[in-house]
Copies of this chain bind each other. A is one copy, B any other.
């Protein structure tokens, strides 16, 4: 039986050159803005200046928290939250990709919390009041611009944990596909693998099979990624490709298609441990892990759904037996990730060896005996999947 509550109030302003509206949108929440950003490219490419101009026109005051890392660290969250408390910030403006927006979510949640910011992802304290977030997206990947979730890393504990609260869904997000023209081929490929994985983690679930509509929509979104990611890599200023990837990134994980998901996201849980220790790009890790996971859990019970994926997403011959079609689907996915997107196909190639497989497999279970995804996996089984990735 499918029961859910759906509410996605985020206002999306989609299209080029919309930052003139930024000041007005921010001013709805107050006068003092904390601008959160990453390595500073936004100061070189003019986005920051446009944001400042619009904030000035609206009579706003702003403070800055730059230098947010990929896989954002709790130290950045804490520093941002301290600044919010000190300056009485009213609203956070995140300019960047998923890491920056995730960091902004951590800050938004920690700004009204008196303890250590790490207490929130570790559930030592509940998330209470949060600051509102406005985002300007510069990378199509994580979907953080429209979802209620952030991922925060802690180098000390080598952990990568999730914070989630409806109040962390950005209030307003500016989606300008032209801002992703400068995204490198590698980051475009990794982002696209991330989008695919978000859809797949919700697609491969044991529901009662009864949300046909959402499965068809997910297939449409996967076809979109498969169609446009290679175009965006070959032709980085192709608006059509960038626009489709950007809007798909938001819908892949905003909760609409995930209404049925009643289990943990296996590949994300495993990959989070890889990037927690090795700080690799999330989408790259997902691309390496996902096909191995599919091969590992392929059996008579999973083959029908994997065949559906193969037939409806990759056009594999529907008359083939389930397992054969499923294997062809996995091959198509590998071809997409490793040939069409040009991502490295093994952990070995990116400098990861056997040294931490057991540790990562155990941590991926997140304190439980098993990782409870589409198919329940023990740490020993996760090690086997990771070995297949070497």
List chain B residues, Cβ under 8 A from A243: 2, 210-211
CB distance from A341 to the nearest CB of B (A): 18
Q: Is A99 an interface residue (CB 8 A)?
A: no
Q: How many A residues face the partner with a CB closer than 8 A?
A: 40
Judged by DSSP, the binding face of A is mixed
Contacts known (A12-B7, A15-B1, A217-B220); A212 close to B239, Cβ less than 8 A: no
Interface contact A4-B9, CB-CB below 8 Å: no
Q: Is A361 an interface residue (CB 8 A)?
A: no
CB within 8 Å of B: which of A1-35? 1-16, 18
Contacts known (A4-B14, A4-B15); A221 close to B213, Cβ less than 8 A: yes
In the bound complex, what is the Cα–Cα distance between A216 and B218 (angstroms)?
A: 9
CB within 8 Å of B: which of A232-269? 239-240, 243-244, 247-248, 251, 259
Indicate which residue in B210, B227, B251, B259 contacts A212 across the interface (CB closer than 8 Å): B227
- Encode contact with B along A196-236: 1 for CB under 8 Å, 0 otherwise: 00000000000011111100110111011001100000000
Number of copies: 2
Interface contact B213-A244, CB-CB below 8 Å: yes
Indicate which residue in B10, B210, B240, B259 contacts A210 across the interface (CB closer than 8 Å): B240
Interface contact B1-A11, CB-CB below 8 Å: no
In the bound complex, what is the Cα–Cα distance between A251 and B259 (angstroms)?
A: 14
Indicate which residue in B6, B11, B227, B244 contacts A14 across the interface (CB closer than 8 Å): B6
Contacts known (A220-B213, A243-B210); A12 close to B5, Cβ less than 8 A: yes
CB distance from A13 to the nearest CB of B (A): 5
Interface contact B228-A224, CB-CB below 8 Å: no
CB within 8 Å of B: which of A37-92? none
List chain B residues, Cβ under 8 A from A9: 7-9
CB distance from A169 to the nearest CB of B (A): 11
CB distance from A145 to the nearest CB of B (A): 12
CB distance from A232 to the nearest CB of B (A): 12
In the bound complex, what is the Cα–Cα distance between A16 and B18 (angstroms)?
A: 42
CB distance from A364 to the nearest CB of B (A): 31
Interface contact B10-A3, CB-CB below 8 Å: no
Interface contact B220-A224, CB-CB below 8 Å: no
- In the complex, what residue of chain B is closest to A209 when comparing beta carbons? B240
CB distance from A180 to the nearest CB of B (A): 14
Interface contact A220-B227, CB-CB below 8 Å: no
15 A-B pairs with CB atoms under 8 Å apart are: A2-B243, A3-B16, A3-B18, A4-B12, A4-B14, A8-B9, A210-B243, A211-B243, A211-B247, A213-B221, A213-B244, A216-B219, A216-B221, A216-B224, A219-B220
CB-CB nearest 4 A-B residue pairs = A3-B15, A216-B220, A9-B9, A210-B240
